[in-house]
Chains A and B, each alone.
Chain A
Amino acid sequence: MERTSEFKNIPEQRLYANILFYLNLIGLFILLTGFTLYLTGVITPLVPLEDLPRFWSLSLDEYIEKSNMPTGWQWISKIGYGDIAPMLGIAVLASVTFVCYFVLLFQFLKRGVKTLALIVSIELLLILLSASNLIQVTH
């Protein structure tokens, strides 16, 4: 059981804030780099910029079918395309919480704070599950 009193902030708070801050900066830098390469045309996109307005009003299924855009983790194999390159930054930002929680888990286990370690573990599993693209719903 946790040893800190009810009114104390947990010591991991500062560590979490620092990791979050630096990962945000890294993610933002990767995102902006990818997007600049896309906008400036340094890398050719899968869907040309001038054709994009024809696609963004389509439903998701129609868009995927007509644009040949990757789903799941297939974007990694197409990272060389301009409109896919910003996905790396987006994925980094979507992973920030996972990394922070992973560090929290180790800190809680080291301190023997079992209840919070359990909550963090379940959350990590949830994020992993949604990121894995293993859950599929058909319609």
Chain B
Amino acid sequence: MPLASSFFPFHIDFVRGTGLFIALGSSLAAAPHLLGKNLASIKLALPTALVASAFAVVGAFFGLWLSALNPAYIQGSLGVTIIGIVFIMLFAKDSEHPSVAGGNYLTQMLHIGGIYQEETTGKEVSWTVHNTGKGLFCFVFVGLLAGIFGLGAGWANMPILNMIMGAPVKVAVATSGLALSVTDSTAAWIYLNKGAVLPMITVPSLVGIMLGARIGSKLLPKVKPAAVRYIVISVLFLAGVRSLMKAFGY
């Protein structure tokens, strides 16, 4: 989505509509495999996705209203957001198995936790989360950003689930995708109903991402992420700068 909005001639409204469907398609395609491996957790995804999707609806309407006033507002704030994401990705340190002192009231009420088998060691890992209230509050912003910009927001879900709520990194990555499939469903319907989905842009992207995500969900445990991470960071940085330049008419 950042690439399409920065480097292609499509109007930002269509790019955001397509962006939501790309995020939705990739999360839908990867989720079955990750749920089957018990890496994605429905118990963790349900409350986080509920908060995010409620605010994604608000964000979607706000974004469409804002771009009707002046598309440069969206283009400029998208550029700032993308550069912000780059810095989060550069400096956020994930923790493979964060130490969780003990679930709080919300965690216990929702029984958030689970077990998965760590493929590299063959051991079963039990996990739960803490700071559930704080984590859920952060998903308010995730939902708003997803709705306003048509961003998948996996870059934000993962640090919240891992660093704030204390879910193991693999559970955080997988559950982030599952939660996205819910969050983006609500916002995607709004863009679809408004007519902001052009099949010529959306369908090839959607099919490509669904096939790629299915392969990616199987390859991910075996791939060293460092090189991919720096390529993504570099491309995102360029897209952010280009988006800002577009907002200022360059």
Q: Which residues of A contact B (CB under 8 A)?
A: 2, 4-10, 12-14, 16-18, 20-21, 24, 28, 31-32, 34-35, 38, 49, 52-53, 56-61, 63-64, 69-73, 83, 86-87, 89-91, 93-98, 101, 104, 115-116, 119-120, 122-123, 126-127, 129-131, 133, 135, 137, 139
Chain A residues closer than 8 Å to B57, beta-carbon distance: 126, 129-130, 135
Given the known A-B contacts A9-B114, A90-B202, A137-B65, are A17 and B50 also in contact in the complex, defined by CB atoms under 8 Å? Answer: no
Whether B43 is near chain A, meaning CB under 8 Å from some CB there, is yes
Whether B21 is near chain A, meaning CB under 8 Å from some CB there, is yes
For A27, the closest partner residue in chain B by CB is: B28
Query: For this complex, into which size category does the number of interface residues on chain B fall?
Result: 35 or more
Contact: A59 with B67, CB < 8 Å?
A: yes
Chain A residues closer than 8 Å to B181, beta-carbon distance: 20, 96-97
Contact: B192 with A139, CB < 8 Å?
A: no
* Separation of A137 and B148 alpha carbons in the complex (Å): 14
Q: Which residues of B contact A (CB under 8 A)?
A: 9-11, 13-14, 21, 24-25, 28-29, 31-33, 35-36, 38, 41-43, 46-47, 49-50, 53-54, 57, 60-61, 64-65, 67-69, 71, 103, 107-116, 126-128, 181-182, 185-190, 192-204, 206-207, 210
For B29, the closest partner residue in chain A by CB is: A24
**Consensus secondary structure, chain A interface:** helix
Contact of A122 among B36, B50, B197 (CB under 8 A): B50
Contact: B115 with A9, CB < 8 Å?
A: yes
